[in-house]
Structure 1
Amino acid sequence: MTIDKTAIRNAATVIVIRDRMTTPSILMGQRGAKAAFMPNKFVFPGGAVDIGDADIPLASALTPQCAARIGEDIDPALAHAIPVAAVRELWEETGLILGQKGEWQGDVPPDWETFAATGHLPHAEPLQFVFRALTPPGRPRRFDARFFLVDVDDIASDPDNFDAACDELSHLQWVPLTKARSFDMPFITEVVLAEVEARARDLNAPESVPYFKNNDEESLFLRLKGKTPTYTGGD
Protein backbone atom coordinates (compact mmCIF):
# COMPACT_ATOMS: atom_id res chain seq x y z
CA MET A 1 0.00 0.00 0.00
CA THR A 2 1.31 3.46 -0.91
CA ILE A 3 0.93 6.14 1.75
CA ASP A 4 0.03 9.63 0.58
CA LYS A 5 2.71 11.73 2.25
CA THR A 6 0.62 14.87 1.85
CA ALA A 7 -2.39 13.42 3.66
CA ILE A 8 -3.12 14.26 7.29
CA ARG A 9 -2.86 11.09 9.36
CA ASN A 10 -4.62 10.58 12.65
CA ALA A 11 -2.23 9.76 15.46
CA ALA A 12 -2.07 8.97 19.17
CA THR A 13 0.69 9.84 21.64
CA VAL A 14 1.09 8.64 25.23
CA ILE A 15 2.74 10.54 28.07
CA VAL A 16 3.47 8.12 30.89
CA ILE A 17 4.07 9.86 34.21
CA ARG A 18 5.50 8.41 37.42
CA ASP A 19 5.99 9.70 40.97
CA ARG A 20 3.60 12.50 40.06
CA MET A 21 2.89 13.57 43.63
CA THR A 22 6.54 13.81 44.66
CA THR A 23 9.20 14.06 41.93
CA PRO A 24 7.29 13.58 38.66
CA SER A 25 9.05 12.24 35.59
CA ILE A 26 7.88 11.32 32.10
CA LEU A 27 8.95 8.67 29.61
CA MET A 28 10.68 9.96 26.48
CA GLY A 29 12.84 8.61 23.68
CA GLN A 30 14.87 9.96 20.78
CA ARG A 31 13.86 9.61 17.14
CA GLY A 32 16.46 8.39 14.66
CA ALA A 33 18.71 10.73 12.69
CA LYS A 34 17.22 9.46 9.40
CA ALA A 35 13.58 9.75 10.46
CA ALA A 36 11.48 11.71 7.95
CA PHE A 37 9.51 13.33 10.76
CA MET A 38 11.28 15.17 13.59
CA PRO A 39 14.73 13.47 13.28
CA ASN A 40 16.91 13.39 16.41
CA LYS A 41 14.18 14.96 18.54
CA PHE A 42 13.15 13.66 21.95
CA VAL A 43 9.46 12.80 21.93
CA PHE A 44 6.76 10.88 23.73
CA PRO A 45 5.92 7.43 22.33
CA GLY A 46 3.22 7.53 19.69
CA GLY A 47 2.37 7.20 16.02
CA ALA A 48 -0.26 6.99 13.33
CA VAL A 49 -3.58 5.19 13.65
CA ASP A 50 -3.70 2.03 11.52
CA ILE A 51 -6.78 0.93 9.61
CA GLY A 52 -6.92 -2.29 11.64
CA ASP A 53 -7.05 -0.45 14.98
CA ALA A 54 -10.79 0.07 14.50
CA ASP A 55 -11.35 -3.69 14.81
CA ILE A 56 -9.29 -4.35 17.94
CA PRO A 57 -11.30 -5.21 21.08
CA LEU A 58 -10.71 -3.18 24.23
CA ALA A 59 -10.82 -4.57 27.75
CA SER A 60 -12.07 -1.13 28.78
CA ALA A 61 -13.09 1.98 26.90
CA LEU A 62 -12.14 5.60 27.47
CA THR A 63 -14.06 7.37 30.22
CA PRO A 64 -17.28 8.96 28.88
CA GLN A 65 -15.80 12.44 29.24
CA CYS A 66 -12.64 11.61 27.29
CA ALA A 67 -14.67 9.74 24.69
CA ALA A 68 -16.94 12.76 24.17
CA ARG A 69 -13.95 15.06 23.66
CA ILE A 70 -12.18 12.61 21.35
CA GLY A 71 -15.36 12.46 19.30
CA GLU A 72 -15.42 16.17 18.48
CA ASP A 73 -14.68 17.19 14.90
CA ILE A 74 -13.78 13.67 13.67
CA ASP A 75 -15.19 10.69 11.83
CA PRO A 76 -17.11 8.75 14.54
CA ALA A 77 -15.34 5.56 13.49
CA LEU A 78 -12.08 7.00 14.86
CA ALA A 79 -13.33 7.29 18.43
CA HIS A 80 -12.46 3.62 19.04
CA ALA A 81 -9.37 3.41 16.85
CA ILE A 82 -7.50 6.32 18.44
CA PRO A 83 -7.18 4.90 21.99
CA VAL A 84 -6.40 1.49 20.49
CA ALA A 85 -3.55 3.09 18.55
CA ALA A 86 -2.30 4.73 21.76
CA VAL A 87 -1.99 1.35 23.49
CA ARG A 88 -0.37 -0.24 20.43
CA GLU A 89 2.17 2.53 19.90
CA LEU A 90 3.12 2.53 23.59
CA TRP A 91 3.76 -1.21 23.37
CA GLU A 92 5.67 -1.08 20.10
CA GLU A 93 7.92 1.84 21.00
CA THR A 94 8.54 1.13 24.70
CA GLY A 95 7.49 -2.46 25.44
CA LEU A 96 5.19 -1.23 28.21
CA ILE A 97 1.81 -2.92 28.56
CA LEU A 98 -1.31 -0.84 29.07
CA GLY A 99 -3.63 -3.80 29.36
CA GLN A 100 -5.81 -6.05 31.45
CA LYS A 101 -5.48 -9.81 31.67
CA GLY A 102 -7.71 -11.49 29.12
CA GLU A 103 -7.90 -13.86 26.17
CA TRP A 104 -8.18 -12.72 22.58
CA GLN A 105 -11.01 -14.19 20.56
CA GLY A 106 -10.34 -15.41 17.02
CA ASP A 107 -7.28 -14.55 14.96
CA VAL A 108 -4.90 -11.94 16.34
CA PRO A 109 -3.75 -9.32 13.78
CA PRO A 110 0.02 -9.42 13.10
CA ASP A 111 0.57 -6.00 14.69
CA TRP A 112 -0.89 -7.30 17.94
CA GLU A 113 0.62 -10.78 18.17
CA THR A 114 3.40 -9.85 20.58
CA PHE A 115 1.04 -7.83 22.77
CA ALA A 116 -1.52 -10.65 22.83
CA ALA A 117 1.23 -13.11 23.75
CA THR A 118 1.62 -11.27 27.07
CA GLY A 119 -1.92 -12.37 27.99
CA HIS A 120 -3.41 -8.88 27.98
CA LEU A 121 -6.14 -7.00 26.17
CA PRO A 122 -5.68 -3.26 25.51
CA HIS A 123 -6.93 -1.14 28.39
CA ALA A 124 -8.07 2.39 27.44
CA GLU A 125 -9.82 3.63 30.57
CA PRO A 126 -6.65 5.01 32.24
CA LEU A 127 -5.87 7.17 29.19
CA GLN A 128 -6.65 10.81 29.99
CA PHE A 129 -7.08 12.93 26.86
CA VAL A 130 -5.14 16.16 27.49
CA PHE A 131 -4.16 17.71 24.14
CA ARG A 132 -4.81 17.68 20.39
CA ALA A 133 -2.63 19.23 17.70
CA LEU A 134 -2.77 19.34 13.91
CA THR A 135 0.63 19.69 12.25
CA PRO A 136 0.88 22.97 10.29
CA PRO A 137 0.92 22.89 6.47
CA GLY A 138 4.27 22.60 4.71
CA ARG A 139 5.76 19.89 6.92
CA PRO A 140 7.06 16.60 5.42
CA ARG A 141 4.44 14.71 7.45
CA ARG A 142 1.18 16.02 8.88
CA PHE A 143 -0.60 14.42 11.84
CA ASP A 144 -3.79 15.11 13.73
CA ALA A 145 -2.39 13.94 17.04
CA ARG A 146 -4.20 13.23 20.29
CA PHE A 147 -2.07 13.23 23.43
CA PHE A 148 -2.97 11.04 26.39
CA LEU A 149 -1.62 11.18 29.93
CA VAL A 150 -1.43 7.89 31.84
CA ASP A 151 -0.09 7.13 35.30
CA VAL A 152 2.66 4.54 35.55
CA ASP A 153 0.60 2.70 38.18
CA ASP A 154 -1.79 1.70 35.39
CA ILE A 155 0.99 0.03 33.40
CA ALA A 156 0.79 -3.76 33.73
CA SER A 157 4.51 -4.38 33.19
CA ASP A 158 7.82 -3.31 34.72
CA PRO A 159 8.11 0.41 33.86
CA ASP A 160 11.90 0.13 33.67
CA ASN A 161 11.96 -2.83 31.27
CA PHE A 162 12.06 -1.72 27.62
CA ASP A 163 13.33 -5.05 26.24
CA ALA A 164 10.22 -5.57 24.07
CA ALA A 165 10.49 -2.16 22.41
CA CYS A 166 11.15 -1.79 18.70
CA ASP A 167 14.07 0.38 17.58
CA GLU A 168 12.03 3.41 16.50
CA LEU A 169 12.95 5.30 19.66
CA SER A 170 16.39 5.15 21.24
CA HIS A 171 17.59 6.34 24.63
CA LEU A 172 14.26 5.55 26.29
CA GLN A 173 14.40 7.09 29.73
CA TRP A 174 12.43 8.60 32.58
CA VAL A 175 13.02 12.33 32.41
CA PRO A 176 12.34 14.48 35.50
CA LEU A 177 9.84 17.19 34.63
CA THR A 178 12.24 19.75 36.06
CA LYS A 179 14.89 18.76 33.48
CA ALA A 180 12.76 17.91 30.45
CA ARG A 181 13.16 21.32 28.80
CA SER A 182 16.91 20.81 28.49
CA PHE A 183 16.26 18.07 25.89
CA ASP A 184 16.06 18.80 22.17
CA MET A 185 12.35 18.40 21.46
CA PRO A 186 9.82 19.64 18.89
CA PHE A 187 7.93 22.83 19.62
CA ILE A 188 4.61 21.03 20.02
CA THR A 189 6.18 18.63 22.53
CA GLU A 190 7.26 21.65 24.57
CA VAL A 191 3.71 23.01 24.46
CA VAL A 192 2.25 19.68 25.59
CA LEU A 193 4.94 19.42 28.25
CA ALA A 194 3.73 22.72 29.73
CA GLU A 195 0.23 21.27 29.93
CA VAL A 196 1.57 18.17 31.68
CA GLU A 197 3.55 20.27 34.14
CA ALA A 198 0.40 22.18 35.04
CA ARG A 199 -1.54 18.94 35.53
CA ALA A 200 1.14 16.68 37.01
CA ARG A 201 -0.38 16.47 40.47
CA ASP A 202 -4.02 16.77 39.40
CA LEU A 203 -5.72 13.39 38.96
CA ASN A 204 -8.93 14.87 37.62
CA ALA A 205 -9.70 15.29 33.93
CA PRO A 206 -9.07 18.84 32.65
CA GLU A 207 -12.04 21.16 32.30
CA SER A 208 -11.31 21.30 28.59
CA VAL A 209 -8.69 19.97 26.18
CA PRO A 210 -6.49 22.38 24.18
CA TYR A 211 -6.61 21.89 20.41
CA PHE A 212 -4.11 23.58 18.08
CA LYS A 213 -5.87 23.37 14.72
CA ASN A 214 -3.43 24.43 12.03
CA ASN A 215 -5.39 23.99 8.82
CA ASP A 216 -4.67 25.40 5.37
CA GLU A 217 -6.70 28.56 5.98
CA GLU A 218 -5.77 29.62 9.50
CA SER A 219 -4.35 28.58 12.86
CA LEU A 220 -6.90 28.24 15.62
CA PHE A 221 -6.61 27.55 19.32
CA LEU A 222 -9.73 25.70 20.45
CA ARG A 223 -10.95 24.09 23.63
CA LEU A 224 -12.63 20.69 23.43
CA LYS A 225 -15.32 20.19 26.07
CA GLY A 226 -17.30 17.29 24.66
CA LYS A 227 -19.54 19.43 22.48
CA THR A 228 -18.93 22.13 19.87
CA PRO A 229 -15.29 23.29 20.22
CA THR A 230 -14.83 26.68 21.86
CA TYR A 231 -12.65 29.21 20.03
CA THR A 232 -10.27 31.06 22.37
CA GLY A 233 -8.28 33.12 19.92
CA GLY A 234 -5.29 32.67 17.65
CA ASP A 235 -3.61 33.97 14.57
Structure 2
Amino acid sequence: MTEDAEAGGKPKPQRIRDAATLILYRRRAGRLEVLMGERHGASAFMPNRFVFPGGRLDPADYRIQAAAPLNPVSTARLTRCPRTGPRKALGLALAAIRETFEETGLRLAVPKPVAAAPSSSWAAFCAKGHAPDPAPLLYICRAITPPGRPRRFDARFFAAPAEAALGELRPSQELDKLNWLTPEDTKDLLLPNITQYVLAHLEGWLRPEAAEDPNQPTPFHYMRRGERQLEWV
Protein backbone atom coordinates (compact mmCIF):
# COMPACT_ATOMS: atom_id res chain seq x y z
CA MET A 1 0.00 0.00 0.00
CA THR A 2 1.34 3.43 -0.87
CA GLU A 3 1.64 6.26 1.64
CA ASP A 4 -1.05 8.12 -0.30
CA ALA A 5 -3.41 5.16 0.07
CA GLU A 6 -2.65 4.86 3.78
CA ALA A 7 -3.56 8.52 4.18
CA GLY A 8 -6.89 7.88 2.53
CA GLY A 9 -6.01 9.67 -0.70
CA LYS A 10 -5.83 8.43 -4.25
CA PRO A 11 -2.59 6.79 -5.48
CA LYS A 12 -0.24 9.26 -7.08
CA PRO A 13 -0.67 9.12 -10.87
CA GLN A 14 2.29 7.88 -12.87
CA ARG A 15 4.32 10.47 -14.68
CA ILE A 16 4.11 10.13 -18.46
CA ARG A 17 7.53 10.80 -20.00
CA ASP A 18 8.19 11.94 -23.54
CA ALA A 19 9.91 9.25 -25.59
CA ALA A 20 10.88 8.39 -29.15
CA THR A 21 11.25 5.17 -31.14
CA LEU A 22 13.06 4.51 -34.41
CA ILE A 23 12.05 1.88 -36.95
CA LEU A 24 14.95 1.16 -39.28
CA TYR A 25 13.75 -0.61 -42.40
CA ARG A 26 15.17 -2.15 -45.54
CA ARG A 27 14.01 -4.33 -48.42
CA ARG A 28 15.45 -7.74 -49.24
CA ALA A 29 14.13 -9.68 -52.25
CA GLY A 30 11.21 -7.26 -52.37
CA ARG A 31 10.23 -7.89 -48.74
CA LEU A 32 10.13 -5.21 -46.06
CA GLU A 33 12.39 -5.91 -43.05
CA VAL A 34 12.66 -3.93 -39.81
CA LEU A 35 15.26 -3.95 -37.05
CA MET A 36 13.96 -5.33 -33.76
CA GLY A 37 15.37 -6.75 -30.56
CA GLU A 38 14.20 -8.50 -27.41
CA ARG A 39 14.09 -6.57 -24.15
CA HIS A 40 15.90 -8.39 -21.36
CA GLY A 41 13.81 -10.44 -18.93
CA ALA A 42 14.95 -8.32 -15.99
CA SER A 43 13.68 -5.10 -17.59
CA ALA A 44 11.05 -3.24 -15.59
CA PHE A 45 9.32 -2.14 -18.80
CA MET A 46 8.08 -4.75 -21.30
CA PRO A 47 10.43 -7.61 -20.37
CA ASN A 48 10.95 -10.30 -23.03
CA ARG A 49 9.02 -8.26 -25.62
CA PHE A 50 10.38 -7.69 -29.10
CA VAL A 51 10.45 -3.98 -29.83
CA PHE A 52 12.06 -1.28 -31.94
CA PRO A 53 14.93 0.66 -30.36
CA GLY A 54 13.87 3.75 -28.42
CA GLY A 55 13.61 5.47 -25.07
CA ARG A 56 12.78 8.66 -23.26
CA LEU A 57 13.62 12.20 -24.29
CA ASP A 58 16.65 13.56 -22.42
CA PRO A 59 17.42 17.27 -21.78
CA ALA A 60 20.71 16.80 -23.68
CA ASP A 61 18.69 15.94 -26.80
CA TYR A 62 17.71 19.61 -26.99
CA ARG A 63 21.33 20.75 -26.83
CA ILE A 64 23.21 18.45 -29.18
CA GLN A 65 24.28 20.07 -32.46
CA ALA A 66 22.53 18.27 -35.33
CA ALA A 67 24.11 17.99 -38.76
CA ALA A 68 20.85 19.00 -40.48
CA PRO A 69 17.29 20.04 -39.64
CA LEU A 70 14.50 17.56 -39.20
CA ASN A 71 12.80 17.14 -42.57
CA PRO A 72 9.78 19.40 -43.24
CA VAL A 73 7.29 16.53 -43.49
CA SER A 74 8.07 15.26 -39.98
CA THR A 75 8.25 18.79 -38.57
CA ALA A 76 4.81 19.66 -39.98
CA ARG A 77 3.25 16.46 -38.64
CA LEU A 78 4.77 16.74 -35.17
CA THR A 79 3.98 20.40 -34.68
CA ARG A 80 0.27 19.72 -35.27
CA CYS A 81 0.34 18.02 -31.86
CA PRO A 82 -0.41 20.23 -28.83
CA ARG A 83 2.67 21.46 -26.92
CA THR A 84 5.04 20.31 -29.66
CA GLY A 85 6.90 23.10 -31.40
CA PRO A 86 9.79 22.77 -33.85
CA ARG A 87 12.38 22.60 -31.05
CA LYS A 88 10.66 19.69 -29.34
CA ALA A 89 10.04 17.97 -32.69
CA LEU A 90 13.78 18.04 -33.38
CA GLY A 91 14.58 16.93 -29.83
CA LEU A 92 12.33 13.88 -30.18
CA ALA A 93 13.98 12.88 -33.46
CA LEU A 94 17.42 13.23 -31.86
CA ALA A 95 16.28 11.17 -28.86
CA ALA A 96 15.31 8.37 -31.26
CA ILE A 97 18.74 8.57 -32.90
CA ARG A 98 20.60 8.53 -29.56
CA GLU A 99 18.58 5.64 -28.15
CA THR A 100 19.09 3.62 -31.33
CA PHE A 101 22.85 4.08 -31.02
CA GLU A 102 22.83 3.11 -27.33
CA GLU A 103 20.75 -0.01 -27.93
CA THR A 104 22.06 -1.23 -31.30
CA GLY A 105 25.39 0.48 -32.04
CA LEU A 106 24.03 2.07 -35.23
CA ARG A 107 24.45 5.79 -35.87
CA LEU A 108 22.24 7.96 -38.04
CA ALA A 109 25.02 10.45 -38.60
CA VAL A 110 27.28 12.20 -41.07
CA PRO A 111 30.99 13.01 -40.75
CA LYS A 112 31.00 16.38 -39.03
CA PRO A 113 32.80 17.42 -35.83
CA VAL A 114 30.64 18.45 -32.86
CA ALA A 115 32.19 21.16 -30.71
CA ALA A 116 30.92 19.94 -27.33
CA ALA A 117 28.66 16.96 -26.65
CA PRO A 118 26.14 17.76 -23.87
CA SER A 119 26.20 14.29 -22.23
CA SER A 120 28.28 11.13 -22.03
CA SER A 121 25.85 9.34 -24.34
CA TRP A 122 26.19 12.02 -26.99
CA ALA A 123 29.96 12.10 -26.49
CA ALA A 124 30.09 8.39 -27.37
CA PHE A 125 27.85 8.97 -30.39
CA CYS A 126 29.94 11.90 -31.67
CA ALA A 127 33.28 10.12 -31.23
CA LYS A 128 35.51 10.17 -34.30
CA GLY A 129 33.71 13.16 -35.75
CA HIS A 130 30.07 12.12 -36.13
CA ALA A 131 27.11 14.47 -35.90
CA PRO A 132 23.51 13.17 -35.65
CA ASP A 133 21.46 13.50 -38.83
CA PRO A 134 17.68 13.65 -38.26
CA ALA A 135 16.87 14.47 -41.90
CA PRO A 136 15.96 10.85 -42.90
CA LEU A 137 13.49 10.38 -40.01
CA LEU A 138 9.80 10.21 -40.95
CA TYR A 139 7.29 10.70 -38.13
CA ILE A 140 4.52 8.09 -38.47
CA CYS A 141 2.71 7.36 -35.18
CA ARG A 142 2.21 8.28 -31.52
CA ALA A 143 1.11 6.18 -28.52
CA ILE A 144 0.84 6.65 -24.74
CA THR A 145 1.50 3.61 -22.54
CA PRO A 146 -1.77 2.47 -20.89
CA PRO A 147 -2.27 3.09 -17.14
CA GLY A 148 -1.14 0.44 -14.72
CA ARG A 149 2.23 -0.26 -16.34
CA PRO A 150 5.47 0.12 -14.30
CA ARG A 151 6.44 3.05 -16.54
CA ARG A 152 4.45 5.20 -18.93
CA PHE A 153 5.70 6.96 -22.04
CA ASP A 154 4.29 9.31 -24.63
CA ALA A 155 6.16 7.73 -27.52
CA ARG A 156 6.59 9.15 -31.00
CA PHE A 157 7.49 6.65 -33.70
CA PHE A 158 9.86 7.51 -36.54
CA ALA A 159 10.95 5.43 -39.52
CA ALA A 160 14.21 5.70 -41.47
CA PRO A 161 15.90 3.62 -44.19
CA ALA A 162 18.65 1.27 -43.03
CA GLU A 163 21.13 2.79 -45.48
CA ALA A 164 21.04 6.00 -43.43
CA ALA A 165 22.65 4.15 -40.49
CA LEU A 166 26.39 3.67 -39.93
CA GLY A 167 28.16 0.95 -37.94
CA GLU A 168 27.63 -2.69 -37.02
CA LEU A 169 24.85 -4.19 -34.93
CA ARG A 170 25.73 -5.07 -31.35
CA PRO A 171 23.46 -6.16 -28.48
CA SER A 172 23.13 -3.92 -25.44
CA GLN A 173 21.96 -4.08 -21.83
CA GLU A 174 18.48 -3.18 -23.05
CA LEU A 175 18.09 -5.03 -26.36
CA ASP A 176 19.31 -8.50 -27.26
CA LYS A 177 18.68 -10.84 -30.23
CA LEU A 178 18.87 -7.93 -32.67
CA ASN A 179 17.73 -8.97 -36.11
CA TRP A 180 16.11 -7.81 -39.33
CA LEU A 181 12.60 -9.26 -39.42
CA THR A 182 9.68 -9.16 -41.83
CA PRO A 183 6.23 -8.59 -40.30
CA GLU A 184 5.53 -12.28 -41.00
CA ASP A 185 8.63 -13.27 -38.98
CA THR A 186 7.16 -11.62 -35.86
CA LYS A 187 3.90 -13.56 -35.72
CA ASP A 188 5.11 -16.00 -33.05
CA LEU A 189 7.03 -13.40 -31.00
CA LEU A 190 5.88 -11.53 -27.90
CA LEU A 191 5.04 -8.04 -29.17
CA PRO A 192 3.42 -5.02 -27.51
CA ASN A 193 0.07 -4.11 -29.04
CA ILE A 194 1.40 -0.86 -30.50
CA THR A 195 4.28 -2.73 -32.15
CA GLN A 196 1.81 -5.08 -33.83
CA TYR A 197 -0.16 -2.06 -35.05
CA VAL A 198 2.92 -0.37 -36.49
CA LEU A 199 4.06 -3.53 -38.26
CA ALA A 200 0.62 -3.99 -39.80
CA HIS A 201 0.55 -0.45 -41.24
CA LEU A 202 4.18 0.42 -41.91
CA GLU A 203 4.17 -0.57 -45.58
CA GLY A 204 1.32 1.82 -46.31
CA TRP A 205 2.90 4.69 -44.34
CA LEU A 206 6.11 4.33 -46.39
CA ARG A 207 4.45 4.60 -49.79
CA PRO A 208 5.63 7.82 -51.46
CA GLU A 209 2.16 9.36 -51.66
CA ALA A 210 1.88 9.07 -47.85
CA ALA A 211 5.52 9.52 -46.81
CA GLU A 212 5.97 12.72 -48.79
CA ASP A 213 2.73 14.38 -47.64
CA PRO A 214 3.12 16.75 -44.65
CA ASN A 215 -0.69 16.89 -44.34
CA GLN A 216 -1.01 13.10 -43.98
CA PRO A 217 -2.80 12.48 -40.64
CA THR A 218 -0.88 10.36 -38.15
CA PRO A 219 -2.46 7.93 -35.64
CA PHE A 220 -2.43 8.68 -31.91
CA HIS A 221 -3.25 5.79 -29.52
CA TYR A 222 -4.14 6.30 -25.85
CA MET A 223 -6.55 5.15 -23.13
CA ARG A 224 -9.46 7.16 -21.74
CA ARG A 225 -11.71 5.85 -18.96
CA GLY A 226 -10.50 2.31 -19.62
CA GLU A 227 -11.26 2.44 -23.33
CA ARG A 228 -8.73 2.42 -26.16
CA GLN A 229 -8.81 5.59 -28.24
CA LEU A 230 -7.49 6.32 -31.71
CA GLU A 231 -7.26 9.87 -33.03
CA TRP A 232 -5.81 11.10 -36.29
CA VAL A 233 -3.73 14.24 -35.94
CA distance in structure 1 between the aligned counterparts of 2:38 and 2:188, rounded to whole angstroms? 13
**Alpha carbons 1:137, 1:216 under 8 Å: kept:** no
Q: Which of 81, 94, 101 lines up with 2:104 in the alignment?
A: 94
CA 1:36–1:120 in 2, change beyond 3 Å: closer, same or farther?
same
Secondary structure of 2:179's aligned partner = strand
Q: How far 1:203 moved relative to its partner?
A: 7.4
Which of 127, 132, 155 pairs up with 2:137? Answer: 127
CA spacing shift, 1:213–1:20, aligned 2, 3 Å: farther
Do the aligned partners of 2:25 and 2:32 also contact (CA within 8 Å) in 1? yes
Q: 1:59 to 1:23 in 2, by over 3 A?
A: same
Partner residue of 2:62? 54
Alignment correspondent of 1:70 = 78
Pick from 163, 168, 172: which aligns with 1:166? 172
Partner of residue 104, structure 1: 114
Change over 3 Å in CA distance of 1:216–1:40 after alignment to 2: same
Select the residue among 21, 37, 43 that pairs with 2:51.
43
Unaligned runs of 5+ in 2: 1-11
Number of residue pairs matched? 217
User: 2:5: which partner in 1?
Assistant: none
Which of 129, 137, 152 does residue 142 from structure 1 map onto?
152
Instruction: Give the superposition deviation at 1:181.
Output: 2.1
SS of alignment partner, residue 98 of structure 1: strand
Q: Distance in 1 between matches of 2:193 and 2:163?
A: 28
SS at match of 1:185: coil
Query: Alignment RMSD, CA only?
Result: 2.2
Instruction: Specify the SS of the correspondent of 2:178.
Output: strand
Question: What is the aligned counterpart of 1:185 among 177, 180, 191?
Answer: 191
Q: Quote the Cα distance in structure 1 between the aligned partners of 2:78 and 2:107.
A: 22
> Greater CA deviation, 166-175 or 208-217?
208-217
Letter in 2 for 1:98: L
User: C-alpha displacement at 1:51, in angstroms?
Assistant: 1.6
SS of residue matched to 1:179 = helix
Computing the radius of gyration from Cα coordinates, the structure with the larger value is 2
Equivalent runs, 1:214-233 vs 2, <5 Å:
214-215=223-224, 219-224=228-233
Q: CA deviation at 1:34?
A: 1.2
Question: What displacement does 1:79 show?
Answer: 2.0
- Contact 1:17/1:25 (<8 A) preserved: yes
Match of residue 22 from structure 1:
30
Structure 2 contact 143–222 (Cα < 8 Å) conserved: yes
**Counterpart-to-counterpart distance in 2, 1:112 and 1:176:** 31
Q: Percent identity?
A: 37
* Contact 2:51/2:192 (8 A) holds in 1: yes
> Contact (CA 8 Å) 2:117, 2:126: kept in 1 or not?
no
Distance between the aligned counterparts of 1:187 and 1:155, measured in 2?
Answer: 27
Give 4+ residue runs of structure 1 displaced > 6 Å after superposition. Answer: none
Note if contact 2:102-2:172 (Cα within 8 Å) is conserved in structure 1: yes
Distance 1:178 1:203, change over 3 A: farther
Distance 2:143 2:63 in 1: 25
Maintained 8 Å contact 1:134/1:213:
yes
